[in-house]
């Protein structure tokens, strides 16, 4: 079984590389932007022609939320055009697409966990391009799993956990936003989930489980709560104080509440998802 992973050098891509040795029956091919430019349709088609993947996990994305406000074209090319190109290549080569999306497709005005049936309303360029990427896939073919996730972190690449630990070495105190509520997702848990979806798909004769899913760890917290637990787990002592989003203005507006409902993905794939605090390990 050949599984292509785009965005191989990113946080989720590296997390899949980390767990890959456990799955000897899967031949993983990891591609980064140097070996596969997903914004180039011709390149996507020739890459698929050469490697003939049965599955494609698209972890490649433009994720610089604030920068996207001043680089909308670049964000669109990667998040929309790239997604569409991969979907078309999958369609041509009869491959299955697993595409990673985001909680940022929602505006955060709800006060109960977001379900797959809730109407998206992104607040910024990043969220809008990710939503448009979802639509581009859905308009191309039906052999896809779109997995929205949130607050992804790990020991790899750049993320909130690593930023907090770096800042703690540089400063005596930190002010952390406390009125944005969501769920941290350990990238290794998400990586395991993606492999489980592939295994489930491979073992079934009738594939009726295509569609849109939400995945994060269980539970919820604010960025302030998350930072506090990161420092506790890593035995870091630093003074931190909670601040409102209004005290930390950013180019892109964030959803104040973006907890995702995981009922569908848990039932469909028989997943046991750990709580975010359980998954939080020292770096």
H-helix or E-strand spanning residue 100: strand 96-102
Q: What is the CA radius of gyration of the chain?
A: 18
CA 177, distance to chain mean position in Å, is 21
Q: What is the mean pLDDT of residues 101-128?
A: 98
- If you write DSSP's letter for every residue of 12-64 in order, what string do you get? HHHHHHHHGGG-TT-EEEEE-TTT--TT-HHHHHHHHHHH--SEEEE------
- For 108, the 3-state DSSP assignment is coil
Domains and CATH numbers, the chain: 2-159+183-220+258-276 (3.40.50.720)
Q: What is the pLDDT of residues 63-86, one digit of tens each?
A: 999 999 999 999 999 999 999 999
CA–CA dist 13, 216 (Å, integer): 17
* Residue among 50, 115, 125, 139 at smallest CA distance from 262: 115
206 confidence band (pLDDT: 50, 70, 90): low
Which ranges constitute the DSSP H helices of 34-176? 41-51, 72-76, 82-93, 125-140, 160-170
* Residue among 202, 225, 193, 228 at smallest CA distance from 15: 193
Give residue 205's pLDDT. Answer: 58
Give residue 283's pLDDT. Answer: 85
Give residue 233's pLDDT. Answer: 96
Give residue 244's pLDDT. Answer: 97
pTM of this structure: 0.96
Query: Which residues lie below 8 Å from residue 187, measured CB to CB, with a gap of 6+?
Result: 11, 12, 14, 15, 152, 153, 154, 156
Q: Kindly tell me if the per-residue pLDDT of 182 is higher than 70.
A: yes
Q: What is the pLDDT of residues 32-62, one digit of tens each?
A: 999 999 999 999 999 999 999 999 999 999 9
Give residue 202's pLDDT. Answer: 81
Catalytic residues: 126
Give residue 208's pLDDT. Answer: 77
* Residue among 123, 122, 140 at smallest CA distance from 131: 122
- If you write DSSP's letter for every residue of 221-261 in order, what string do you get? EEHHHHHHHHHHHTT---EEEEE-GGGS--SSPPPSB-PBP
- Per the prediction, the chain carries an average pLDDT of 96
Q: Kindly tell me if the per-residue pLDDT of 204 is higher than 80.
A: no
Q: Kindly tell me if the per-residue pLDDT of 195 is higher than 90.
A: yes
Q: What is the pLDDT of residues 131-178, one digit of tens each?
A: 999 999 999 999 999 999 999 999 999 999 999 999 999 999 999 999
Q: What is the mean pLDDT of residues 106-121?
A: 97
- Residue 96: strand pairing partners: 55
Task: Show the tokens assigned to 85.
Answer: 């190109």
Give residue 201's pLDDT. Answer: 85
Q: What is the mean pLDDT of residues 257-264?
A: 98
Give residue 125's pLDDT. Answer: 98
Match 């993947």 to its residue by tokens: 53
Q: What is the mean pLDDT of residues 261-266?
A: 98
H-helix or E-strand spanning residue 278: helix 276-279
């Amino acid at each position: 079984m050949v599984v292509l992973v785009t965005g191989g050098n990113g946080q989720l891509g590296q997390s899949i590389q980390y767990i890959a040795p456990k799955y000897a029956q899967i031949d993983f091919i990891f591609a980064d932007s140097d070996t596969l430019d997903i914004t180039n349709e011709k390149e996507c088609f020739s890459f698929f022609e050469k490697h003939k993947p049965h599955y494609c996990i698209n972890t490649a994305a433009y994720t610089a939320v604030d920068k996207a406000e001043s680089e909308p074209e670049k964000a669109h090319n990667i998040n929309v055009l790239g997604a569409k190109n991969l979907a078309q290549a999958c369609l041509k080569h009869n491959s299955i697409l697993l595409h990673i999306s985001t909680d940022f497709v929602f505006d955060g005005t709800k006060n109960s966990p977001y379900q797959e049936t809730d109407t998206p309303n992104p607040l910024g360029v990043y969220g809008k391009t990710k939503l448009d990427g979802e639509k581009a896939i859905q308009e191309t073919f039906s052999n896809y799993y779109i997995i929205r996730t949130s607050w992804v972190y790990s020991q790899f690449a750049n993320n909130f956990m690593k930023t907090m630990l770096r800042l703690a070495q540089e400063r005596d105190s930190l002010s952390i936003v406390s009125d944005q509520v969501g769920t941290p997702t350990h990238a290794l848990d998400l990586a395991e989930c993606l492999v489980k979806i592939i295994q489930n798909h491979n073992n079934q004769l009738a594939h009726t489980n295509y569609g849109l899913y939400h995945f994060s760890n269980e539970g919820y917290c604010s960025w302030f709560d998350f930072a506090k637990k990161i420092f506790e787990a890593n035995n870091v002592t630093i003074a931190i104080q909670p601040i409102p989003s209004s005290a930390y203005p950013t180019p892109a507006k964030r959803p104040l509440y973006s907890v995702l409902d995981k009922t569908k993905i848990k039932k469909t794939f028989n997943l046991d998802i750990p709580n975010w605090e359980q998954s939080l390990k020292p770096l």
